[in-house]
Chains A and B, each alone.
Chain A
């Protein structure tokens, strides 16, 4: 499992920490009453507070605080009942106030941890250093005009949670698994939609390399990487770059870098002379943020079941495997769907069908579970038909396909197409006898010891019965007749 880079001077280990910016789900912005909705006409979701007009003052949005606390609880982290907003001072075109209001010295959430699972089934714990609230900046558009950049402040002031991990990550795969797990938790709790394409989750990736047993070496920060795949790629190429520098006798400079995925390389974003001096100090427009223990407890009590707890429960309650619980609990909607089907039909049958034909059909039609033309009760009905022997499994696959196409119920399709399983022993026996008569040569071979032909007779019988014969009865009667 361990990820190593073999260099000329020896084996290198990589050390990675992630700072994830997650956009908080809320109606209004962190410090103003403007809409926090993504998109919209340029500069439409902007209050004079967001635009930093003279005399405008921030007031904290309670829901954004609640979302940060819920997330902290989901990360098994310490909640700080008193936290504070500081100003991070710097000039930039899309930073209207000339400072970002952020929690620097006293974040609302302290240390926590996240359990990640790797492809080989092993699990690792990644430490969370802190989670703090801050406001987003606006957006600069650089390709609209030959001499000017355009500024849209719709995002300016939207609440972000910055979630900082410990430098506990040791491979690109772990980084990917951590991000997927983090996104899963955020989506479960409903505090961030985790949509990296729309920028509602972005990662700053801190990478360094070292030889076994060494203390940390200098790290570089790769800014604003916007997909899990790019995070994994950027770690790979950045670690490789650093190894090459060290091995050539150079030193890695602590700097901010950019990942260019088209070229598959990272490059320096700003020179050292430009090093920022953010002049943090407590925002005098805001009081310290004080929350009550009881409020935190109420938020905790109202939290939904989290991924790990849900997996354990699914395993205990329905007897699904560890692997199956992982797939089912990936999304709450999938787990909910499964539980409805499992309760209405049979848990084992339900998991086999969902992870098999049902997901395959969704994949084929390019639909999410929310958009599925077959809902939980529809699938349950189909499985019930299997369970009570109305149809057999093979016919059921055909019925499911039909359900996806027509949206009709399983029983309607079975009736329309006459797919009911034949359990009349007389009809089955007569079908068997017809097949044996038509294949006298094969029957002779069977009798002389070629046992394998049993399956051939079953297949031929089923075919003659258009697949509707009850497979158990066909087997049983065929055995009896052959033994005559």
Chain B
């Protein structure tokens, strides 16, 4: 049971080889064993989980139950969960208990999934290291060979990635604004999918940057992600940006193969700064797809280098406005003061961490009088050019293959002090977010120090199925069976 994928667990549950209660108990005890070191959970809900598992067993016994009946999952603590504390990793929401359920988690519950708790993240999903959470940093379950330094899991869905990688859950929800599913998936040696913008509802998910935020699954394999995404996705009339399109059975696409598929290799993603090991792995990926019958083509995405600064302007502008509601009046923490403005300032200074405050100020600045055109409007225009880059590339090719991140996981104390250097982590993931096209990351190999590295596939709007098919070819070729140092049962 300790090295079972979500798909395998489903089968075992259906055949009644294991019970949902056993499965959930096993994962709860794994959390008890490992999470003291990893700190992936902000809140655990074992009692609720056991009740849900019991209910799942009753359904399974009757041969009933939804797509994820009895499957233990973790939920990034950015999804509001009815009656369960939801913090966004921030002090300002330390005691916030939403009286409502996000659409994505409600969809998972409709398929009878079992939630084990709420997973740690960078505060308000702002970061790529998971060092900015008010609930402590998350430790990557992987260790460098011969080195006991604590490594970052990536971010912002770092708690989700670490929980999946260490076997504390079979799958987790993530959210991706500029790479927050894909980059931690790469750092933790798991699979993560950022679907097309509008595929998963944003209703009830705490906003970072509304025009970029997308929920997606994080799990060990593509099949696991396909099952989760099928449950999570769907049209939601409560989200005006949700797209009204039927959700396919993604698992059916897994074995389609890549014969005749055209795979684009974006020239602009090559750089001299890219570590040789990552470059080599990228070449390996190209070879795997070619061996399976795909045609690989060089393509150009000329505005790639402008992706990161464009992203930061657009995302931070939206964030500065989205986070205005945390004012100590209707919910969240308040620092009392004599005047309204003093109360706002004290509340928001104490409630938000350093990175969040920095980003709010930055976003406020680029929208402020006299700067809107120079920054925000210009960034939105360049976003159009980046979107056009992808649209014209996808006239020639079906998918794009790139590395997920420019490095493997680094140690907590190796985080650069210059914010711009930290932002560079997202260089490969941000362009797809800006365009809103789907992308996934899958573990393709280990570096020389034994740390996982991911490769990214980017697809056309709503062609997640093509990504699953191409990804499956690579997944098989990579045969990634490595497990991290901190893994279910192994840390006893």
For A149, the chain B residues whose CB sits under 8 A away are 340
Among B197-205, B224-232, B446-454, the stretch that binds chain A is B197-205
Contact of A55 among B206, B240, B341 (CB under 8 A): B206
Contact of B325 among A54, A284, A285, A286 (CB under 8 A): A54
Contacts A54-B325, A91-B327: A277 and B241 contacting too (C-beta < 8 A)? no
- CB neighbors of A among B66-102 (8 A): 79-80, 86, 88, 93, 96, 98-100, 102
Q: Mark A37-65, 1 if CB is under 8 A from B, else 0.
A: 00000000000100111111111100000
- CB neighbors of B among A60-100 (8 A): 60, 87, 89, 91, 93, 96-99
Q: Mark B292-318, 1 if CB is under 8 A from A, else 0.
A: 000000000000000000000000011
For B80, the chain A residues whose CB sits under 8 A away are 54-55
For B368, the chain A residues whose CB sits under 8 A away are 277, 279
Q: Mark B180-217, 1 if CB is under 8 A from A, else 0.
A: 00000000000000000000001111110111000000
Whether B327 contacts A98 by the Cβ 8 Å rule is yes
Whether B317 contacts A52 by the Cβ 8 Å rule is no
Contacts A53-B98, A279-B364, A279-B368: A151 and B329 contacting too (C-beta < 8 A)? yes
**A295 interfacial contact with B, CB 8 Å:** no
Q: Which residue of B lies closest to A97 (CB)?
A: B325
- In the assembled complex, the CB of A98 is this many whole angstroms from the nearest CB of chain B, namely 2
Whether A89 contacts B88 by the Cβ 8 Å rule is no
Q: Mark B434-445, 1 if CB is under 8 A from A, else 0.
A: 000000000000
CA distance A93 to B93 in the complex (A): 19
For A51, the chain B residues whose CB sits under 8 A away are 330
**Secondary structure dominating the interface of B:** loop
Contact of A284 among B96, B98, B99, B210 (CB under 8 A): B210
Whether B324 contacts A97 by the Cβ 8 Å rule is yes
Whether B99 contacts A48 by the Cβ 8 Å rule is yes
For B239, the chain A residues whose CB sits under 8 A away are 57, 59
For A96, the chain B residues whose CB sits under 8 A away are 325, 329-330
Whether B367 contacts A89 by the Cβ 8 Å rule is yes
- CB neighbors of A among B313-367 (8 A): 317-318, 320-321, 323-325, 327, 329-331, 340-341, 344, 364, 367
For A57, the chain B residues whose CB sits under 8 A away are 202-203, 238-240
**A287 interfacial contact with B, CB 8 Å:** yes
Contacts A51-B330, A281-B372, A285-B240: A98 and B321 contacting too (C-beta < 8 A)? yes
Size of B's binding interface in residues, CB under 8 A: 44
Q: Which residue of B lies closest to A59 (CB)?
A: B240
Whether A93 contacts B340 by the Cβ 8 Å rule is yes
- In the assembled complex, the CB of B87 is this many whole angstroms from the nearest CB of chain A, namely 10
**B369 interfacial contact with A, CB 8 Å:** yes
Q: Which residue of A lies closest to B341 (CB)?
A: A91
CA distance A277 to B325 in the complex (A): 17
**Secondary structure dominating the interface of A:** loop
Count A-B contacts at CB 8 Å. Answer: 99
Chain A interface size, as a band, is 20 to 34
Contact of A59 among B86, B238, B372 (CB under 8 A): B238
**B376 interfacial contact with A, CB 8 Å:** yes
For A91, the chain B residues whose CB sits under 8 A away are 324, 327, 341, 344
Residue among B88, B100, B211, B327 with max Cβ neighbours from chain A (10 Å): B327
Whether B367 contacts A281 by the Cβ 8 Å rule is yes
**B275 interfacial contact with A, CB 8 Å:** no
Q: Which residue of B lies closest to A285 (CB)?
A: B210
- In the assembled complex, the CB of A180 is this many whole angstroms from the nearest CB of chain B, namely 37
- In the assembled complex, the CB of A438 is this many whole angstroms from the nearest CB of chain B, namely 87
Whether B330 contacts A53 by the Cβ 8 Å rule is yes
Contacts A87-B321, A96-B325, A285-B240: A52 and B93 contacting too (C-beta < 8 A)? no
Whether B317 contacts A281 by the Cβ 8 Å rule is yes
Q: Which residue of A lies closest to B101 (CB)?
A: A55
**B419 interfacial contact with A, CB 8 Å:** no
Contact of A58 among B237, B240, B320 (CB under 8 A): B240
Task: List residues of chain B with CB under 8 Å of any chain A CB.
Answer: 79-80, 86, 88, 93, 96, 98-100, 102, 202-207, 209-211, 237-241, 317-318, 320-321, 323-325, 327, 329-331, 340-341, 344, 364, 367-369, 372, 376
Known: A99-B321, A281-B317, A284-B209. 9 other contacts (CB 8 A): A53-B330, A55-B100, A91-B324, A98-B327, A279-B364, A279-B367, A285-B210, A285-B240, A287-B241
**9 cross-chain pairs, A with B, having the tightest CB-CB distances, nearest first:** A98-B324, A279-B367, A284-B210, A284-B211, A52-B325, A55-B204, A54-B206, A277-B369, A55-B80
Ordered by A's residue number, 13 sampled pairs between the chains whose C-beta atoms are within 8 Å are A48-B99, A51-B330, A53-B100, A57-B238, A89-B324, A96-B330, A98-B325, A277-B368, A277-B369, A281-B321, A281-B372, A281-B376, A284-B241
